[in-house]
Amino acid sequence: MRPETGTYPQYFDHYIALVEENEVQSALKNNTDEFLKFLDSLPAEKAEFAYAKDKWTLKEVLLHITDAERIFAYRALRFSRNDTTPLPSFDENEFIEFANSGKRSLQSVIDEFKTVRSATLSLFNSLDNDELTRKGIGSSQTCTALAMGFIIAGHTKHHIKVIKENYL
């Protein structure tokens, strides 16, 4: 099942629309295969490249994808467990500012993503339909665990496009 409009903040429409699959587990599995293949094709010499002043480097974009996935998966876990405690937003620019990407290799950033995605897959593979449709509040907006999974996959697809257009 796909998330229905109204079960997530409207500003995530773009990410969810990028996901072609109709089940979150297959969406995340296929997205993982696509993204890992894409990561293998990235030239190491582009790791520190930023396409404009004040834009993130390629490594920073990859760290952003991983950071956002961790946060979205955590929200999905909390929502699926019927936790209605409002969860705060996060400032992606502050996260990147303090990520120390310059001290890391491109491979270490890729390896971190693989670890996080493995945990995300495990989480979503463990959730049944009741758990997936439970709601919570993140960034002052109501969302379901199911929608969080589609947002994770769509967010990654969005950044594949950004990387192809601006970094390669």
- Token reading at 54: 């004040």
Residue 3: inside a domain: no
Predicted pLDDT at 61: 98
Beta-carbon contacts of residue 32 (< 8 Å; ≥ 6 apart): 117, 121
Predicted pLDDT at 29: 98
Q: Residue 40 is part of which domain span?
A: 10-166
Residue 89: inside a domain: yes
pTM above 0.85, yes or no: yes
CATH number of the domain encompassing residue 104:
1.20.120.450
Burial of 124 (0-12, 13-18, 19+ CB in 10 A): buried
Residue 4: inside a domain: no
Reduce the DSSP state of residue 8 to 3 states and report it.
Answer: coil
Residue 96: inside a domain: yes
Residue 5: inside a domain: no
Q: Tell me which residue of 161, 165, 162, 156 sits closest to 31, measured CA to CA.
A: 156
User: Could you read off the pLDDT of 97-149 as tens digits, one per residue?
Assistant: 999 999 999 999 999 999 999 999 999 999 999 999 999 999 999 999 999 99
Overall domain count for the chain: 1
- Residue 62 and residue 35: Cα distance in Å, rounded? 11
